[in-house]
Amino acid sequence: QVQLVESGGGLVKPGGSLRLSCAASGFTFSGYYMSWLRQAPGEGLEWVSYISSGSSYTDYADSVKGRFTISRDNAKNSLYLQMDSLRVEDATVYYCATYNWNYKYFDYWGQGTLVTVSS
């Protein structure tokens, strides 16, 4: 059974940093592209970033480019999102999800972790 469990969310001041983690189990993690997505309370979903199965390829939404870094450790079945220079508008629930590269969709989702950015 596929399981994705995010952690690392919390309260941070504007300009601060936070590192999110996503622990994967129940599937061959190293064979999947992965993504981070986010959703502000009461708002819609936004794609944030993706990483290829072997970490060769990454990309980011314009809203986070240059501030966020996605990475993964296949030996630990883990996905990460390093978030620097955080802004108030980055305060959302962050989801990790598997990304099916062949059919361009997010198939399995975690339950999310909440990031709050406030002084």
Partner 1 sequence: QTVVTQEPSFSVSPGGTVTLTCGLSSDSVSTSYYPSWYQQTPGQAPRTLIYSTNTRSSGVPDRFSGSILGNKAALTITGAQADDESDYYCVLYMGSGISVFGGGTKLTVL
What is the sign, positive or negative, of the torsion defined by CA atoms of 77, 2, 37, 86? negative
Instruction: Report the amino acid identity of residue 118.
Output: S
Interface with partner 1, residue 27, by CB under 8 A: no
Interface with partner 1, residue 68, by CB under 8 A: no
Interface with partner 1, residue 100, by CB under 8 A: yes
Minimum gap (Å) between residue 10 Cβ and partner 1: 19
d(CA 26, CA 104): 21
Interface with partner 1, residue 7, by CB under 8 A: no
d(CA 49, CA 6): 15
Interface with partner 1, residue 47, by CB under 8 A: yes
| Nearer residue to partner 1 within complex by CB, 80 or 106 | 106
Interface with partner 1, residue 112, by CB under 8 A: yes
Q: Which residues of this chain interact with partner 1, rule CB under 8 A?
A: 35, 44-47, 50, 57, 59, 61, 95, 100, 103-112
